[in-house]
A and B are shown apart, each in its own frame.
With several copies, the nearest count.
Chain A
Amino acid sequence: MIRVRVQVADFDLKEETDALLAAAAEAGAVASFLGVVRSTAARPIAALTLEHYPAMTQPALEAIAAEAQRRFDLLGCTVIHRVGRLLPGARIVLVLAAARHRQAALDGTGYLIDWLKTGAPFWKSEELPDGTTRWVEAREEDAEASARW
């Protein structure tokens, strides 16, 4: 089962994992990736705003999830991506992959998050402590990470 959601609201890791496992009979492993808004002493931010392309986001995420499911023979996967303004420490994105064995679950999770970063229409804008904003630039290493699969 593939579940993909784009939402403003937060999500609950335990609920999502339970729902995935309930629908993934014969699963022995669930791997996950949780991304959170990062603000550091060296590079503090006040908030992060995620913009997206609504008509394209859902089909793009579904295509990425379907490819992960096929490649790693997953028993199910979940992708939840938040949009809107988020404060430091807030959850941004959750990826879950259920499989019979651990390597498929881990690989499926890595594939999903790598492709979310380079293949889905989201853009991040950082709000600095002084109130100015700047668009986060895409990183070359993200393109390399998704290209290696």
Chain B
Amino acid sequence: MTKPVTILYFAWVRERVGAGEEEVTLPQGVDTVAALVAWLRGRSPGHDAAFASPALVRAAVNQVFARQDTAVGAGDEVAFFPPVTGG
């Protein structure tokens, strides 16, 4: 059994997806942030809308800011969100 990946969504990415969190089991070959985004877009029109402008969506893997080529694997926590606006 492969452990699932926890996906978190924040701010307008969360609103477009329609959920703040989901667990998914990654198919073979989905092993980077970029591949995960491409695969998630096929899950629903909301997911597709959330990632319609990939340059506007940032990611973190296991609570650390990630890039498009950052590795993603079973058991990871991956978060997607717009550029941060705190402070």
Identify the A interface with B (CB < 8 A).
35, 50-53, 55-56, 59-60, 81, 92-93, 102, 113, 116-125, 135-138, 142
In whole angstroms, what is the CA distance A116 to B86 when docked?
6
- Total B residues in contact with A, Cβ cutoff 8 Å: 17
Do residues A55 and B84 form an inter-chain contact, with CB atoms below 8 A? no
CA distance in complex: A60, B16 (Å): 25
Residues from chain B with Cβ under 8 Å of A117 in the complex: 84-87
CA distance A121 to B65 in the complex (A): 9
Whether B86 pairs with A124 at a CB distance below 8 angstroms is yes
Tell me how far the C-beta of A126 lies from the nearest C-beta in chain B, rounded to whole angstroms: 10
Q: Which of B8, B11, B87 contacts A116 (CB 8 A)?
A: B87
Asked if B86 and A120 sit within 8 Å, CB to CB, the answer is: yes
What is the distance, in angstroms, from A147's C-beta to the closest C-beta of chain B?
14
Given contacts A93-B86, A118-B84, contact A135 B77 (CB under 8 A): no
Asked if B11 and A93 make an inter-chain contact with CB atoms under 8 angstroms apart, the answer reads: no
Q: Which residues of B contact A56 (CB under 8 A)?
A: 60, 63-64, 79
Asked whether B63 lies within 8 Å of A55 as measured between CB atoms, the reply is yes
A3 to B52, CA, bound (A): 39
Residues of B near A142 (CB, < 8 A) are 87
Q: Which residue of B lies closest to A61 (CB)?
A: B86
In angstroms, how far is the closest chain A Cβ from the Cβ of B28?
28
Q: Verify if B83 is at the interface (C-beta below 8 Å from A).
A: yes
Contact B86 A121 (CB under 8 A): yes
Contact of A53 among B12, B60, B83, B85 (CB under 8 A): B60
- CB within 8 Å for A35 and B87 given contacts A51-B11, A56-B60: yes
B82 at interface by CB-CB < 8 Å: yes
